[in-house]
């Protein structure tokens, strides 16, 4: 039985070494927390919506440098970004509720 345990341990150590070569645990580079990532995403959505509002206003006021196509594309981009952000929020809330309901 001791031989199998040793062989298993050797195999696990070999797999660990291969896994570390593929994706090192302590890889150098910037580490971001989730809050900062989420804040950037919300700021990006806000910027897209403000840009869309600006294009829409310019189009409504008769600015000939802004086409209807530009306004519609910007509106679709900001709408999709907002929907994606809402979906991420929903998943985070769902995960939070799941974690809170776990027995300790």
Q: Is residue 73 part of a domain?
A: yes
Contacts of 49 (CB under 8 A, 6+ apart): 78, 82
Band of pLDDT at residue 3, cut at 50, 70 and 90? low
CA distances from 34 to 24, 27, 43 (A): 20, 18, 14
- 87 is in which domain, residue-wise? 32-104
pLDDT, tens digit, 9 for 90 and up, residues 38-65 = 888 899 999 999 999 999 999 999 999 9
The two counts, helices (H) then strands (E), for the chain are 3, 0
Contacts of 42 (CB under 8 A, 6+ apart): 85
Mean pLDDT, the chain, rounded, equals: 82
Q: Is residue 2 part of a domain?
A: no
Q: Is residue 7 part of a domain?
A: no
Number of structural domains found in the chain: 1
Q: Is residue 23 part of a domain?
A: no
How many CA atoms lie within 13 Å of 43's alpha carbon, on the beta-carbon side?
6
Distance CA 78, CA 71 (A): 11
Higher-confidence position of 21 and 48: 48
The predicted model scores a pTM of 0.61
Band of pLDDT at residue 26, cut at 50, 70 and 90? low
Distance CA 100, CA 104 (A): 10
Q: What is the mean pLDDT of residues 29-42?
A: 77
Q: What's the confidence (pLDDT) of residue 57? A: 96
Q: Is residue 4 part of a domain?
A: no
């Amino acid at each position: 039985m001791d031989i199998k345990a040793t062989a298993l341990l050797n195999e696990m150590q070999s797999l660990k070494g291969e896994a570390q070569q593929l994706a090192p645990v302590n890889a150098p580079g910037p580490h971001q927390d989730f809050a900062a990532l989420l804040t950037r995403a919300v700021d990006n959505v806000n910027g897209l919506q403000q840009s869309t509002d600006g294009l829409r206003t310019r189009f409504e006021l008769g600015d000939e440098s802004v086409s209807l196509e530009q306004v519609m594309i910007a509106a679709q981009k900001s709408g999709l970004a907002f929907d994606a952000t809402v979906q991420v929020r929903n998943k985070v809330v769902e995960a939070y509720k799941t974690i809170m309901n776990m027995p300790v």
